[in-house]
Amino acid sequence: MNADDRMVVTPWEVGGTIDYDRLLKEFGIQPFSELIDKVPDPMHLMRRGIIFGHRDYTRIVSAIKEKRNWAVMSGFMPSGLPHFGHKMTMDEIIWHQKAGGFAHVAVADMEAHAVRGMNWEKVKEVGKLYLKSIAALGLKPDGAILYFQSSSNFVKDLAFELSSEVNWSELKAIYGFSSETTLAKMFVTSVQAADILHPQLKEFGGPKPVIVPVGADQDPHLRLTRDLASRISTFAFEKIENGVRIRSRKGREYLRMLEKEIDCEYKSYTEHLDVFGDYNKIVEFVRGFEVEIGGFAFIPPSSTYHRFITGLTGGKMSSSKPESYISLFDSPDLAVKKVKRAITGGRGSAEEQKRLGGEPEACTVFELFSIHLIERDDELEEIKRRCKNGEQLCGQCKKLASQLVEEFLKDFQEKVKSVNLEDYEIIGI
């Protein structure tokens, strides 16, 4: 394998040839295809395998079906203009809000400052464009909180609490930090965890299932956060026959306090309580009790993982390479030029493509169709069939994609003009 093809997937670097089956195995992620039949009216990214993996998404499916309280949370580092790669995550947040989740949307200005060295004025300016973008795409003011990390005391205070549960060795193992890594970059990992967990603070309604839609490069944050959710909470739960085994991470006295509140059958032991009855009702009661006595009672967050959108010039779409992406704020004319220069899955000549057919799975234009531009599955499948059979050439696809991108950007940019962020609950403006 060429050194340039080696897969690198971290929160701050993605490179090489991405093997999604390998990511599932190495990161311990479950295939999304195994549960899509259980998801009510799944969005197109789910149906088409763009969302390829998950952790504990069954918890979200149950919350949707049972109409219980739950939330969706994700964020954006404003290191460059919002582009179609960011739109994918925005679409996922909006779908989950429509499915009943309360949306928490972060502008990761602390991360942009610490990791990218951007000044605060610039991140504020660019961050507003991200908020306007998700609003223009359809996020509703009712049922959403938008915020800048640096302006949310809820996030910053929780990040400080969480940092006491993490040591240097763990950060080194998860993120590969070295002796050259700044303290600010290390602390940002606690801020990310606080972003993910703060929707469960009592000020936001207390413990609840939270779904975090991200790319696979963000999974280290999710793995750390899931561990922290357990460590910082007082009680731990284990399913037993006809009930729940409850342990305390903070001393036996908490079990004794809990024991006084239990009004169903239980057995008391030195290190745990066995409580008998409905598992979910017991756990919900204990979490509520923990919050009452000043604890967190966090539920480990769920997550979905989408494929990386390919840059128009090949490789990952990146904010640092303007030619690789279509910005949501590109002029329609510029976007059309980028589409016409895009790498396709076509053959060396029109004659060869008519004979052998194209390769839509290796085509950035077909990817634009799949992720952003074509909603109907039957229409997408027809384009794919015609391409593979050599009936449709790259020029025809680029012409259609150019038309759809131009129409989308004109409509989107008009909607942005009418967005009033004052309609939203925002922390930081």
More confident residue, 320 or 420: 420
Q: What pLDDT score does 51 carry? A: 97
Dist. CA 70–CA 60, nearest whole Å = 7
Please provide the size of the chain in residues: 429
DSSP characters over 192-251: HHHHHHGGGSGGGTSS--EEEEEEGGGHHHHHHHHHHHHHHSSEEEEEETTEEEEEESS-
Q: Which amino acid is at 41?
A: D
Dist. CA 110–CA 89, nearest whole Å = 20
Q: What pLDDT score does 2 carry? A: 47
Kindly list the distances between the CA atom of residue 419 and the CA atoms of 20, 132, 133, 139, in Å, as whole numbers in the listed order: 37, 6, 9, 11
Q: Which residue has the tokens 């003009």?
A: 417
Dist. CA 43–CA 51, nearest whole Å = 10
The band of 1, judged by pLDDT with boundaries at 50, 70 and 90, is: very low
Strand, coil or helix: what is 91? helix
Q: What pLDDT, in 10s, does the model give residues 331-352?
A: 999 999 999 998 887 677 778 7
Q: What pLDDT score does 25 carry? A: 81
The band of 392, judged by pLDDT with boundaries at 50, 70 and 90, is: confident
Dist. CA 231–CA 212, nearest whole Å = 20
pLDDT at 194 over 90: yes
| Helix boundaries (H) for 304-368 | 332-340, 350-356, 364-368
Contact status, residue 112 vs residue 78, Cβ threshold 8 Å: yes
Share of the chain above pLDDT 70, in %: 94
Q: What pLDDT score does 214 carry? A: 93
Q: What pLDDT, in 10s, does the model give residues 135-188?
A: 999 999 999 999 999 999 999 999 999 999 999 999 998 888 888 999 999 999
The superfamily (CATH) of domain 3-232+300-308 is: HUPs (3.40.50.620)
DSSP characters over 383-400: HHHHHHTTSS-HHHHHHH
| Domain segments of the chain as ranges | 3-232+300-308, 235-292, 322-418
Q: Across residues 286-301, what is the average pLDDT?
A: 97
The DSSP letter of residue 165 is: T
Say which range, 84-93, 98-107, 215-224, has the weakest mean pLDDT: 215-224
DSSP characters over 248-270: ESS-HHHHHHHHTT--S-EEE-S
Q: What pLDDT, in 10s, does the model give residues 100-129?
A: 999 999 999 999 999 899 999 999 999 999
Dist. CA 360–CA 381, nearest whole Å = 11
Q: What pLDDT score does 36 carry? A: 96
Tokens of 178: 């070295």
The band of 18, judged by pLDDT with boundaries at 50, 70 and 90, is: low
Q: What pLDDT score does 313 carry? A: 80
The pTM of the full predicted model, rounded to 2 decimals, is: 0.92
CATH of domain 322-418: 1.10.240.10
Comparing CA positions, the residue from 67, 30, 26 lying closest to residue 51 is 30
Contact status, residue 130 vs residue 78, Cβ threshold 8 Å: yes
Q: What pLDDT score does 316 carry? A: 67
Q: Across residues 68-76, what is the average pLDDT?
A: 97
The band of 7, judged by pLDDT with boundaries at 50, 70 and 90, is: low
In this structure, what are the phi and psi dihedrals at residue 329, rounded to the nearest 5 degrees? -115, 10
Averaged confidence pLDDT in the chain: 91
Residues in contact with 411: Cβ distance below 8 Å, sequence separation at least 6, in sequence order: none
Dihedral, CA of residue 246, residue 249, residue 255 and residue 256, to nearest 10: 170
